[in-house]
Chains A and B, each alone.
Chain A
Amino acid sequence: MSTAKQASALNSQRWPLSGIRSKRVLPGFGLSLGISLLFISLILMLPLTGLVMEVSAMSFDQFWFVITDPRVVASYKVTALAALAASLFNGAFGLLLAWVLVRYDFPGKRLIDAVVDLPFALPTAVAGITLATLFAANGWYGQWLSKLGIEIAFTPVGIVVAMAFTSLPFVVRTVQPVLEELAPEDEEAAVSLGASDGHVFRRVIFPALWPALLTGVALSFTRSLGEFGAVIFIAGNMPYVSEVTSLMIFVRLQEYDYAAASAIASVILAVSLVMLFAITLWQARYLKRIEGR
């Protein structure tokens, strides 16, 4: 009947000063938020501001001229297509890997789980050199592939391989926890209703994984857009064919043209940011619907 009234009466009894004192239970909100903001500013925002300042010293015509240079534009295409291919590959393979790691028990499972993070731990240059050696025409993989007439090292395909290698953990590590939390009951319910395994995966499991998978793929994509170390060793770096955008930035820096380097960098930054925001917004909407918040 009057539970709400009772509750409020109880509240005012327990905290007679509730009008005056803060209602927060955990202390330290101000301090922890302050420190977080400070470090975000120092480590993330300030360098970015520097980039924007460098760019803003240019006139729009100069800026436009630099970022629409045909060689640079060609590098955008190469980078975007390679990143897309790499992230789609990771989407499929990462999902499989996460599935295996969560769903099955087998000897060496923990080892594989640890190995997944290797691309994060390994210096990207090391990864690049290793991949280039493996896929070179006389390398372990390359000698077999060249017999089949497939060239990977020093072609755009090599770029895809390097990008896929360095960004795989993003997909695995975003999908894995969601997969772990899937209630086995949902699947049991679906099976008890007569659904085939394929139907259960398509209609019950995949929709639950979808937001995490998309986030993982998007992270993998944006990471690939900016990949440098691993890519340049295997790409061959032929103008208009296998030059990535981050290499173009490096080239401009070598020419001491900081403004041009910043201009090109700002394009990558803008694309990455827009993508991440879009994904976050979409995901929030999707989750809001299924969580009813």
Chain B
Amino acid sequence: MSITVDSINKRFGSYQALNNVSLDIPEGKLTALLGPSGSGKTTLLRIIAGLESADSGRISFSGKDVTGVHVRDRNIGFVFQHYALFRHMTVAQNIAFGLDSLPRKQRPPKAEIKRRVSELLEMIQLPHMAQRFPAQLSGGQKQRVALARSIATRPKILLLDEPFGALDAKVRKDLRRWLRNLHDEFHFTSIFVTHDQEEALELSDQVVVMSQGNVEQVNEPTELYARPDSRFVFDFLGQVNVLSGDVKHSRLSLGSAWVTVPGIKHQGKAQLYLRPHEVRLATTPAANANLPLRIEAVSLIGSEVRIELRPEGWHSTGSDNIWEVGISHAEFNQQRPARGDLRYAVPEIGHLFTGEDTQPETVNWAEAESAPRVRLIN
């Protein structure tokens, strides 16, 4: 079932939670609603579910208008951040709740319900927990029970509100993978809300980035990361290093720091955004950049070594005046950068925001060496 959100507005008192939001959620896809808290993502999810009503606008499932349809008749599965399991019921009773609630005519016979419950218990790998009460389960187990409960009535649409928000990192990773498999197996149309960019990019087929009640950008994860449309999306998706200064004679400079931007026509204020993997570190300034930085911290955990640096003699506007650069463990072992060392950032690919124009231009120094030019995205 595809979902269409058509110019939804929602106000809480004087606060505009959703501002004329329109969206298309394709059938069978796993879509992430990503945004900081207060961006309206949970409100949007609740309106799609029917737990909240919009002030204006429409929701339709597969072209059928469901705006006025009660949540109990929308046939959706909804998963809450804090599980919302019924404490006084056993795990099996919790999972059977949706089936037990069906009107007598549609309700399957007792034996059938029992069979379905044990199937679901099997699927969530908790068959031995059937007679336990929710209080006796761990967080990850509770969320799996909540998922099983929400899909027991075989809804076509699965909505998840920060489903992994209350879990610790390890469990979260397991559950993510598990949810992905579940989705692939059952072909729901799923939407999940998250404020974790990594989770959104890893898990979903499509990411909807929201901020302050507006949709900022909708795209596939890889495209979204490679081509953010706006400063907000850039900032929000992962760490970013910023050089904010003035462009004069194709050179962007701020104090003693500068970068040449080959082929630029713009003069005046501009910001250069660089991802941690788009920057190299050198012990001497390069021909096209002079960005002195002092190493503040080195983090070895992970597939790359993450180095945090503080601008030396200039100031970065992004993330607490810290730059972050990722280098491989092999490079690290060769160069052995340590706290307090001075390094020069050498940009390879950057994204230039000029003036109020929110679409960034991509600058590629590696390519520019042979054929200097600026490419405009889109």
Contact = CB atoms under 8 A, between A and B. Distances in A.
Interface of A: 183, 185-186, 188-196, 199, 203-204, 207-208, 289-293
B97 A191 contact: no
B314 interface: no
A186 B51 contact: no
B157 to A, nearest CB: 11
17 contacts: A189-B84, A189-B85, A190-B101, A192-B150, A193-B150, A194-B72, A194-B101, A194-B153, A195-B72, A195-B101, A196-B101, A203-B89, A204-B86, A289-B133, A290-B87, A290-B133, A292-B133
A204 B135 CA distance: 16
Contacts of B349: none
B101 A199 contact: yes
B170 to A, nearest CB: 13
A290 B153 CA distance: 25
A192 B89 CA distance: 17
A186 B134 CA distance: 13
Contact of A193 (B51, B87, B88, B153): B153
Contacts, number: 80
B77 interface: yes
B80 interface: yes
Nearest to A210: B88
A190 B97 contact: yes
Contacts of A185: 80, 82, 84
A186 B86 contact: yes
B282 interface: no
Contact of B101 (A186, A193, A289): A193
A183 B146 CA distance: 15
A189 B80 contact: yes
B291 interface: no
Contact of A192 (B78, B82, B133): B78
A203 B90 CA distance: 13
B102 A194 contact: yes
B195 interface: no
B336 to A, nearest CB: 28
A190 B80 CA distance: 12
Interface in B88-126: 88-89, 97-98, 100-102
A209 B93 CA distance: 19
B76 interface: yes
Contact of B72 (A183, A192, A290, A292): A192
B71 interface: yes
Contacts of B51: 188, 191-192
A191 B75 CA distance: 10
B136 interface: yes
Given A199-B101, A290-B135, A191 B88 contact: no
A209 to B, nearest CB: 11
A292 B136 contact: yes
Given A185-B82, A193-B98, A203-B97, A291 B87 contact: yes
Contacts of A183: 82, 84
A207 B88 contact: yes
A289 B134 CA distance: 10
A203 B87 CA distance: 11
Contacts of B76: 192
Given A208-B88, A290-B135, A292-B136, A193 B82 contact: no
A248 B98 CA distance: 56
B149 interface: yes
B80 A292 contact: no
Interface in B124-144: 133-136
B49 interface: yes
A185 B77 CA distance: 14
A291 B136 CA distance: 8
B79 to A, nearest CB: 9
B154 to A, nearest CB: 11
Most chain B beta carbons < 10 A, residue from A186, A189, A192, A293? A192
Contacts of B153: 193-194
A192 B71 contact: yes
A128 B108 CA distance: 56
Given A194-B75, A195-B97, 8 more contacts: A190-B101, A191-B51, A193-B97, A193-B149, A193-B152, A203-B97, A203-B101, A292-B135
Contacts of A195: 72, 97-98, 101
A204 B89 CA distance: 9
Nearest to A189: B84
Nearest to B81: A185
A290 B135 CA distance: 6
Nearest to A206: B88
B101 A188 contact: no
A191 B71 contact: yes
User: Closest 9 A-B residue pairs measured CB to CB?
Assistant: A292-B135, A193-B98, A195-B101, A185-B84, A189-B84, A192-B78, A207-B88, A290-B87, A292-B136
A290 B136 CA distance: 9
A199 B72 CA distance: 12
A226 B262 CA distance: 94
A168 B101 CA distance: 34
A207 B84 CA distance: 15
B135 A291 contact: yes
Contacts of A196: 72, 101
Interface string B39-75: 0000000000111000000000000000000011101
B120 to A, nearest CB: 13
Contacts of A192: 49-51, 71-72, 76-78, 150
A225 B78 CA distance: 49
Contacts of B71: 188, 191-192
A214 B132 CA distance: 25
A174 to B, nearest CB: 18
B76 to A, nearest CB: 6
Contacts of B78: 188-189, 192
